[in-house]
A = this chain, B = another copy of it.
């Protein structure tokens, strides 16, 4: 976020409505531009062309390209986490299923935008290997996502619905498979990767959880 020098920027709590609006507009424009051109070929101009406002407003709200992209990373991550919705009082088995499905296919009735978001998300993810700050942001986010899956597994073990496996290792495995399948769908165009991954998880991974049926 951009702090004007001199007298500094107004505090977050006093931020104008229109200012917040514009920043949202910029974020969505950034999203579309990124989605069209890819991270590597993203120009400030491209973002400008996705807005009604001129590209120079970006410099008023953000302190250059890097600051913009950092804010955008947090924006995307918030969206990701905000989009996950599971029935709180599902049994562990249903909740685990729901979480896996949402990670793989996105919130229902949003298939298209899901993959657009994921494309951008994965590109930022890979780029994080070159940027310590981005890596840190991703790590915190990743811990939350993986954690929520591990938690369900642990719950299921406690209630006796699941076999007493190493929940952390199991959760990490599932998370990894999801991530790879999504990435493969986008990088290689394997449309069926998520669906196949879902089946593979059921068939080869979750069977360790349901050993007694």
B-contacting residues of A (Cβ < 8 Å)? 37-41, 119, 122-123, 125-130, 135, 138-139, 142, 165-166, 169-170, 172-173, 175-177, 179-181, 183-184, 186-189, 196-197, 199-201, 203-205, 207-208
Find chain B residues with CB under 8 A from A127 CB: 38, 40, 123
A187 touches B123 (CB 8 A): no
Chain B residues positioned under 8 Å from A125 (CB to CB): 126, 183, 187
Decide: A169 near B128, CB < 8 A? Known: A40-B39, A176-B176, A184-B176.
Answer: no
Query: Contact between B122 and A38 (Cβ–Cβ < 8 Å)?
Result: no
Copies of the polypeptide in the assembly: 2
A46 vs chain B, min Cβ distance (A): 13
Task: Report B-chain residues with C-beta under 8 Å of the C-beta of A128.
Answer: 187-188
10 closest A-B pairs by beta carbon, nearest first, are A176-B180, A38-B130, A180-B180, A126-B126, A173-B200, A129-B186, A40-B40, A179-B180, A129-B187, A128-B187
B129 contacts A119, C-beta separation under 8 Å: yes
Closest to A130 in B: B38
Determine the chain B residues whose CB is within 8 A of the CB of A166 once the complex forms: 203
- A177, A196, A204 — which one has the most chain B CB atoms within 10 A of its CB? A204
